Amino acid sequence: MRPGAIYLGNDRCEFIVWGPLLKEVTLNIVGTAPRQIPMERSAGGYWRVTADNISPGTQYLYQLNGEKTRPDPASYYQPGSVHEPSQAIDRHAFVWQDRTWRCPPLADWIIYELHVGTFTEEGTFAGIIPRLQALKELGINAIELMPVAQFPGSRNWGYDGVYPYAVQNSYGGPSGLKQLVNACHEAEMAVILDVVYNHFGPEGNYTRDFAPYFTEKYHTPWGSAINFDDAYSAGVRNFFVENALYWLQDYHVDALRLDAVHTIYDFGAKHFVAELAEAVESLSQQEDRPYYLIAESDLNDVRVIRPQALGGYGIDAQWSDDFHHALHTVLTGEQKGYYQDFGKCEQLAKAWRDRFVYAWDYSPHRQRYHGSYAGDRPPEQFVVCSQNHDQVGNRMLGERLSQLVSFAALKLAAATVLLSPYIPLLFMGEEYGEESPFLYFISHGDPDLIEAVRRGRKAEFEAFHVAGEPPDAASTETFQRCILKWDLRDQGKHQVLLELYRQLIGLRRHMQKGSGDRKKLEVLAIEKEKILIFGRGSQERQFACIMNCNDKEVKYTSYLEGNKRLDSSAAEWLGDGSTLPESLTPPQELTLPPQSFAIYEQGNVDWEEKV
Amino acid sequence: MRPGAIYLGNDRCEFIVWGPLLKEVTLNIVGTAPRQIPMERSAGGYWRVTADNISPGTQYLYQLNGEKTRPDPASYYQPGSVHEPSQAIDRHAFVWQDRTWRCPPLADWIIYELHVGTFTEEGTFAGIIPRLQALKELGINAIELMPVAQFPGSRNWGYDGVYPYAVQNSYGGPSGLKQLVNACHEAEMAVILDVVYNHFGPEGNYTRDFAPYFTEKYHTPWGSAINFDDAYSAGVRNFFVENALYWLQDYHVDALRLDAVHTIYDFGAKHFVAELAEAVESLSQQEDRPYYLIAESDLNDVRVIRPQALGGYGIDAQWSDDFHHALHTVLTGEQKGYYQDFGKCEQLAKAWRDRFVYAWDYSPHRQRYHGSYAGDRPPEQFVVCSQNHDQVGNRMLGERLSQLVSFAALKLAAATVLLSPYIPLLFMGEEYGEESPFLYFISHGDPDLIEAVRRGRKAEFEAFHVAGEPPDAASTETFQRCILKWDLRDQGKHQVLLELYRQLIGLRRHMQKGSGDRKKLEVLAIEKEKILIFGRGSQERQFACIMNCNDKEVKYTSYLEGNKRLDSSAAEWLGDGSTLPESLTPPQELTLPPQSFAIYEQGNVDWEEKV
């Protein structure tokens, strides 16, 4: 049952809202010709009415039990704030021009995560479109939008959304998003939308007035958990399953990134995420085109991505935080907070080889065993990165990697992500070493809430022994500091880094070609010297990469063979000049420059002997 | 790491207790020669010391941080109350005589659930032994003991246990239990022990003083949940895994019944129950003998019993409440509480055919979807009954089925359970139509707690609209009313029912024989007349059973064939006299007496055409 104001054409509109415990629901049309229309209760606790003289643009509220008037929890548009009336829209008004779009398989994706508000000065969907060509030239074929569901005010990461079906008004609303998706598809780029099904934001959430959206059985970091397994959960589950289908059907979105599925607490016999996967798979089959679900999961639980026949939830892919943390700590030496669980070169090798570093291993940070073995799942089920909105933005000062490590290390990070067997994700701006921070920012309307956020941020960083005062999340200046300086792309080292990203993506494509039946991946870590060596390739072409993660020069006796394809210490990449030979013949004494990598390619050989 | 006082022989004993956040732990030997022995902290937060001059029988407490003194959470014996010192025992003192014992496969079990305190006047393990022969003659080959872990006072179902390793003192303590298990094995009967890993009882639980045994993340019906997935959960998990192994190793128990696994809240990547199953499987392999785990689960989630390779927890079998409820409602017509989800003859047929009635179907009582499909799991993974301690004892007046339905219906219930493809479980006394109730009883020491229990029981029944005053759970009389009247077995209709149970068990064994490769089960329900027909058997011998669940005579046109084996309406079973022919030749008009069944056997035919 799709909730919301479903415009039927000819000024008719069906309104459907879920309120199983309500005794009376009235549709209040607001504006110049206000009207009250009683709704009828139907099966499952849904209230429905089909009304005439409703043109697209008509605004409305629901009156509950003759008392409170509230916006629609399934509002498709909030032209004013989160506290004001909802608006009916004509879902068929937009003329799509993406009929020829064919979504590539997930294994081929290079994802670019962006935040609409800070990606451009405009901070809108429309502002993104002129930049798509540049991203395409870089090799990107999928953009991932941080959440766009209506949140309070105009500045927010998006995780405070309270109208899961409404496109943020300040970003350009429903038609703005459709134009962007259409333009992406014309540019042969897929669109991933980040959706939040584990909590509602703290301001403007009126769902409690309508139905039992929450349960007291479990606690989440955001308070009571959303009710996925208690009495009346069927309506809550329907609300979110339909939401997922809505983005895919009405907005032509190709994939959803499910925020923090580990806080979707569901002990029932069919986990909500499994039900969601079934519904999306069913739509895929019906439309004979792929739609993908990608989960963020802090569980390292292979169940999330296993097929349902093997007892899994059937999600297509998930983010691998372990990969990020292993890489980040090796490059930065950081050991605070959750980074205390990482720092060894061998862990980075394990992340390459076995997917999860923590596969039911004891985690000192969590003070418990964590994760499960996922080495039997294909690599295209994992999304990896050296930076993302969380890993940058949850630092007190929001520093990107470019502010934390040397230029050499930035190049090494790029190679680690882009040459990995997993799906790479770039965080907007990293490709040219953007220097703006990505800070936490909000623009709530409630002064108490703003103060609570300030206190919360401070306490959080103090708990991790981070000194200093966090920037004020509520100030406009904090937000503006985060806007990308796109012009940097054409300047000096930024331009060089951008070209390196482009070449690495090209090399990745080249590596992926060849017969799929004998793809190899061998990874070796020399812990003491922080050297990581991997060989991968197909029967026809094989590659070896030598990575020195150390911040000083180290010696290495190589038994590898091949011709050099890319060397990060070469002068063209602003290195100190290459010291590595053009071709390798074993055995060979090599001197590896600090934080460098080099890739060699060769023909048909047996890699197991070499690496 | 096995916690507790591990007697090493020669008056030496190693004490091991888990207290990861404690700064100091002292072993206080109490009694005539008190001593204080400092303990040493070792890896994982365990405190250890090996002490001399500790003979079996030595009593001790632990002093924590130089302050509180407390009994051992892993006490092997509490000779006094739950508040008094723990006692070291010599685990090797008992001389086992069960070396030739070979545990039969689970599929062959007929389980007899009993409560030690009320099974006999003595209320002890020793009291049970003289009755084993009678149970064996009935056909029982496994007894299931309700929990025996030390609880407060002497009257309790056992689910208020607070020392999971200590055998209830009033039942006969450790040696009493060993004698019983030994006697069972000599009588070729397996022993199942009911263990509670989802909560501690409300009185005498001092575990919080030792370590983070609880988490605030989830709420259970008993308050904070046990900490299976939060920081320090490794020690909690170890405490319970070792407990399971302890019963199997030290007490020769053959199987554990895991109480309410749905309240073992664990969102981690390896559910505690899966870890437990791994540990028990590993012991089985090591000792080259089977040990079984049987779960009570309110989830209807096939994951519990699926093998781990299919994403399951790997539990051997689970109780099927759906089977009970379907049968109970068809016979009694009751529709209150959870019985509102049942009442149709077709549901009983589904329970026979597909394991769960609720397999992601909407449950009106739960007001949500419930369960998953388990029809692909073998029938010997399900334990079924017409009565058990919960279904009888959670009624306000504790009525057994014999108090609720006619004698004819009792016979029908017996056939439904005993001829089902699942593992039958009888509740002590049902085999001869015991008339004593099985009421809820306690003997807590804390007056406030007693009052809280009284209020709680009252409120619970009021919520289900049950009129009247519940019997006082704290009174001795309530307990005494529940003691079995074993002598009834030899009297009148009781004796007849007992003989019917015996013959049905014999018939079950007869039905189970034959080639296993073509076992059939066909079940048909005629809803309107409440007729249930099933055919089952092997290639060599096949059976048809016609059950009239209606409380009046109905007509039925039979297309079945075969010779009559058993007819519940025959005079020998105190029926009104059989009206069914000795052999069936289709088509045939039959008149089925009220609440009756008849079983026909025939040779090699194709049942799919017949049933």
- Measured CA to CA, the distance from residue B72 to residue B165 in angstroms comes to 10
User: Per the CB < 8 Å rule, is A216 touching B218?
Assistant: no
What whole-number distance in Å separates Cα of residue B196 and Cα of residue B213? 14
Average pLDDT, chain A: 94
B248-266 pLDDT per residue, tens: 999 999 999 999 999 999 9
Cβ–Cβ gap A270/B360 under 8 Å: yes
Residue type, A53: N
Are B299 and A362 in contact (CB < 8 Å)?
A: no
Q: What is the pLDDT of residues A310-360, one digit of tens each?
A: 999 999 999 999 999 999 999 999 999 999 999 999 999 999 999 999 999
pLDDT band (50, 70, 90) for residue B483? very high
- Kindly state whether A259 is in contact with chain B, defined as any CB-CB distance less than 8 angstroms: no
Among A231, A310, A368, beta carbon nearest to B366: A231
Please say if the pLDDT value at position B49 is more than 60: yes
> What is the architecture, at CATH level 2, of domain A131-156+179-487?
Alpha-Beta Barrel (3.20)
To the nearest whole number, what is the mean pLDDT of chain B?
94
Q: Where are the domains of chain A?
A: 4-87, 131-156+179-487, 513-610
- How much is the average pLDDT of A302-306? 98
Mean pLDDT on B319-340:
96
- What is the C-alpha to C-alpha distance for residues B402 and A183, in angstroms, rounded to an integer? 74
A513-610 folds as Immunoglobulin-like (2.60.40)
Q: A561 CB near a chain B CB, below 8 Å?
A: no
CA–CA distance, B33 with B44 (Å, rounded to integer): 32
Please answer yes or no on whether A369 and B234 come within 8 Å at the CB atom: yes
Using a pLDDT cut of 90, give the percent of chain A over it: 86
**Which residues of B are part of the catalytic machinery?**
259, 296
B-chain CB neighbours of A311 within 8 Å are: 303, 306, 310-312
- How many whole angstroms separate alpha carbon B275 and alpha carbon B266? 11
B368, B370, B372, B377, best to mutate vs chain A, most A CBs in 10 Å: B368
pLDDT of the residue at B603: 67
Look at residues A342, A292, A338, A340 and name the one whose alpha carbon lies nearest to residue A318. Answer: A292
Please give, rounded to a whole number of angstroms, the shortest distance from the CA of B355 to a CA of chain A. 14
Please indicate if any CB of chain A lies within 8 Å of the CB of B219: yes
Among partner residues B269, B302, B368, which is closest to A370 by beta-carbon distance? B269
* Residue B527 in tokens: 């809803």
pLDDT digits (tens, 9 = 90+) for B352-396: 999 999 999 999 999 999 999 999 999 999 999 999 999 999 999
Check for a shared fold between A4-87 and A131-156+179-487: no
What is the tens place of the pLDDT at every residue in A223-277? 789 999 999 999 999 999 999 999 999 999 999 999 999 999 999 999 999 999 9
Token pair recorded at residue A31:
């504006």
Percent of chain A residues past pLDDT 70, beyond the cut: 97
For B4-87, give the CATH class. Answer: mainly beta
Q: Does A312 touch chain B (CB under 8 A)?
A: yes
A15 or A519: whose pLDDT is higher? Answer: A15
Contacts of A360 in chain B (CB under 8 A): 269-270
Average pLDDT over residues B156-174: 98
Q: What is the pLDDT of residues A203-227, one digit of tens each?
A: 999 999 999 999 988 887 777 899 9
Amino acid letter for position A226: I
> Is B372 in CB contact (< 8 Å) with chain A?
yes
Work out the pLDDT band at B538, boundaries 50, 70, 90: confident
Q: Which of A12-16, A114-118, A219-223, B16-20 has the lowest mean pLDDT?
A: A219-223
Contacts for A410 with CB less than 8 Å, ≥ 6 apart: A401, A402, A433, A497
Residue A606 has pLDDT above 50, yes or no: no
Examine the pLDDT at A75 and tell me if it is beyond 80: yes
Q: Is B16's pLDDT higher than 50?
A: yes
Q: Does residue B15 have a pLDDT over 50? A: yes
Is omega for the bond preceding A587 within 30 degrees of 0, making it cis? yes
- pLDDT for res A459: 86
pLDDT at B86 over 60: yes
Residue-wise pLDDT tens digits, B447-465: 999 999 888 888 888 877 7
d(CA B42, CA A275): 46
Task: Give the pLDDT confidence score for residue B220 in this predicted structure.
Answer: 79
Which of A219, A229, A371 shows the shortest C-beta gap to B216? A219
* In A115-162, beta strands by DSSP E: 142-145, 149-150
- Give the distance from residue A45's alpha carbon to the nearest chain B alpha carbon, in angstroms: 11
Query: Smallest CA–CA separation between B200 and chain A, in Å?
Result: 19
Q: Hey, is A283 helix, strand or coil?
A: helix
Q: Which amino acid is present at A150?
A: Q
pLDDT of residue A515: 60
Domain B520-610 is classified in which CATH homologous superfamily? Golgi alpha-mannosidase II (2.60.40.1180)
Q: How far is A376 from chain B (nearest CA, A)?
A: 12
What are the angstrom distances between the C-alpha of B103 and each of B59, B250, B279, B292, B379? 36, 16, 19, 10, 19
Cβ atoms of residues B226 and B199 within 8 Å: yes
Distance from CA of A393 to the nearest CA of B (A): 26
How far apart CA A78 and CA A94 sit, in angstroms, is 18
Which one is predicted more confidently, B376 or A519?
B376
Query: Where is average pLDDT lowest: A205-214, A528-537, B317-326?
Result: A528-537
Contacts of A362 in chain B (CB under 8 A): 234
> How far is it, in rounded angstroms, from Cα B196 to Cα B161?
8
Edge-first strand order for the sheet with A46-51 is A4-9, A12-18, A46-51, A40-42
- A133, exposed or middle or buried, with CB in 10 Å at 0-12, 13-18, 19+? exposed
- Write the residue in B217, B302, B368 that is nearest to A219 by C-beta: B217
Helix (H/G/I), strand (E/B), else coil: B453: helix
B376 touches chain A (CB under 8 A): no
pLDDT tens-digit series, residues A118-173: 999 999 999 999 999 999 999 999 999 999 999 999 999 999 999 999 999 999 99
Contact: B232, A367; criterion CB under 8 Å? yes
A310 vs B contacts (CB less than 8 Å):
309-311
Higher pLDDT, B464 or A461: A461
Instruction: List phi, psi (to 5°) of B463.
Output: -60, -30
* Beta pairing partners, A598: A546, A567
User: Which percentage of chain B shows pLDDT scores above 90?
Assistant: 86
Give the best residue of B362, B369, B370 to mutate against chain A (max A CB count within 10 A): B369
Please give the backbone phi and psi of residue B528, each rounded to the nearest 5 degrees, phi first. -60, -45
Between A269, A311, A368, which is nearest B370 by CB?
Answer: A269
**C-alpha dihedral (B381, B384, B389, B395), degrees to nearest 10:** 130
B370 at the A interface (CB within 8 A)? yes
Burial class (CB in 10 A: 0-12, 13-18, 19+), B529: middle
- Measured between CB atoms, does B265 come within 8 Å of chain A? yes
Contacts of B217 in chain A (CB under 8 A): 218-219
pLDDT of residue B338: 94
Contact A360 B270 (CB under 8 A): yes
Return the pLDDT at A224.
82
Between CA B150 and CA B249 the distance in angstroms is 19
The whole-number average pLDDT for the span A274-297 is 97
pLDDT digits (tens, 9 = 90+) for B558-600: 988 899 999 999 999 999 988 899 999 889 999 999 999 999 9
- Smallest CA–CA distance, residue A191 to chain B, in Å, is 30
CA distance B252 to B255: 9
Q: What is the pTM of this model?
A: 0.94
**Selecting from 3.20.20.80, 3.40.1190.20, 3.30.2290.10, 3.90.1150.10, what CATH number does the domain B109-389+412-432+501-505 have?**
3.20.20.80
Annotated active-site residue A259? The verdict is yes
pLDDT tier, B611 (very low <50, low <70, confident <90, very high otherwise): very low
Q: Using alpha carbons only, give the angle B475, B478, B483 rounded to the nearest 5 degrees.
A: 130
Q: Which of A72, A230, A296, A390 is catalytic?
A: A296
Single-letter residue type at A481: R
Q: Which of A217, A234, A360 faces B369 most closely, judged by CB atoms?
A: A234
**CB < 8 Å to B306, chain A:** 311
A378-432 pLDDT per residue, tens: 999 999 999 999 999 999 999 999 999 999 999 999 999 999 999 999 999 999 9
Nearest to B372 among A270, A303, A309 (CB): A270
Whether the CB-CB separation of A391 and A419 falls below 8 Å is answered with: no
Is pLDDT at B606 greater than 60 in this prediction? no
Q: Is A530 on the interface with B (CB under 8 A)?
A: no
Mean pLDDT calculated for residue range B78-88: 97
Q: Which of A241, A263, A270, A275 to mutate to test the interface with B (most CBs of B within 10 A)?
A: A270
Residue A608 has pLDDT above 60, yes or no: no
Query: Contact B78/B169 with Cβ under 8 angstroms?
Result: yes
* Residue A520 predicted with pLDDT over 90: no
Q: Would residue A254 show up in a list of annotated catalytic residues for this protein?
A: no
Query: What does the pLDDT read at residue A369?
Result: 98
